[in-house]
């Protein structure tokens, strides 16, 4: 059995769905996990990881091929910390800070006929900080399956762009540990 780590952000964009019992062919970037993965999983669990998958490289010298025997979703708590955006700290260095109570100006492009496209940054920057020691494993049927058991990434408390700063904890999907019976 070979245990492979799959990172959530890579699979969020372009990994193909698979389930327990399916045959897979993973490109392996490394057999030695980097320190951030060690920090996430902890020393006992990282010792069980045999390979780290990636599918954003052109070619791989190393591959893991075989039948999936188990999938575990790896989740952890994160804290969303909001702080006031300042010029040079989340806003362009030459930005002029709007007066208290006013929003950042809207950047817009006229498309004609009274139609425009625009964006307006929030007064706040949100930093997502992983909380150590909060990692859990949850059995999963597979990866990227329709109506799968994945945990949604942290969402802002409100859609308003003028919410006051604060902190909020939530559970977030970090990736999957996939056990493969290699051929």
Phi, psi (degrees; rounded to nearest 5) at 132:
-65, 150
Q: Quickly list DSSP for 84-148.
A: E-EETBEE-TTPPPPPTT-PPPPEEEEEETTEEEEE---SEEEEEEEPTT--EEEEESEES-TT-
Q: What pLDDT does residue 114 have? A: 82
> Which among 173, 84, 79 is positioned nearest to 128, based on CA atoms?
79
Q: From its phi and psi, is residue 29 left (phi > 0), alpha (psi between -120 and 50) or beta?
A: alpha
User: What pLDDT score was predicted for residue 149?
Assistant: 46
Residue 89 has a pLDDT of 59
What is the enclosing helix (H) or strand (E) of 135? Answer: none
Q: Which pLDDT value is given to residue 91?
A: 63
β-strands 51-53, 2-7 pairing: parallel
DSSP letter (8 states) at residue 153: P
Q: Hey, where are the domains in the chain?
A: 2-78+130-153+170-182, 86-119
Q: Half-sphere exposure (CA, 13 Å, Cβ side) for 168?
A: 16
First-to-last alpha carbon distance for the chain, in angstroms, is 10
Q: Which residues of the chain have pLDDT under 50?
A: 148-162
Q: Give the helix, strand, coil percentages of the chain, each rounded to 5.
A: 10, 50, 40
Q: Tokens in use for 141?
A: 């049927």
């Amino acid at each position: 059995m070979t245990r492979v780590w799959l990172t959530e952000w890579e699979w969020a964009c372009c990994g193909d769905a698979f389930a327990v019992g399916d045959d897979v062919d993973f490109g392996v970037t490394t057999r030695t996990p980097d320190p951030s993965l060690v920090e996430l999983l902890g020393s006992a669990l990282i010792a069980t990881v045999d390979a780290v998958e990636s599918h954003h490289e052109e070619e791989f010298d190393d591959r893991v091929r075989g039948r999936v025997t188990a999938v575990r979703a790896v989740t952890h708590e994160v804290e969303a910390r909001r702080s006031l955006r300042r010029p040079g700290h989340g806003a362009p260095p030459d930005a002029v800070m709007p007066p208290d109570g006013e929003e950042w100006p809207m950047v817009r492009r006229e498309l004609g006929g009274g139609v425009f496209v625009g964006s307006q940054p929030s007064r706040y920057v949100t930093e997502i900080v992983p909380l150590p020691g909060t990692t859990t494993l949850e059995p999963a049927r597979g990866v990227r399956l329709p109506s799968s058991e994945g945990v949604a990434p942290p969402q802002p408390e409100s859609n308003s762009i003028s919410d006051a700063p604060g902190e909020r904890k939530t559970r977030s999907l970090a990736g999957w540990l996939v056990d493969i019976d290699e051929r």
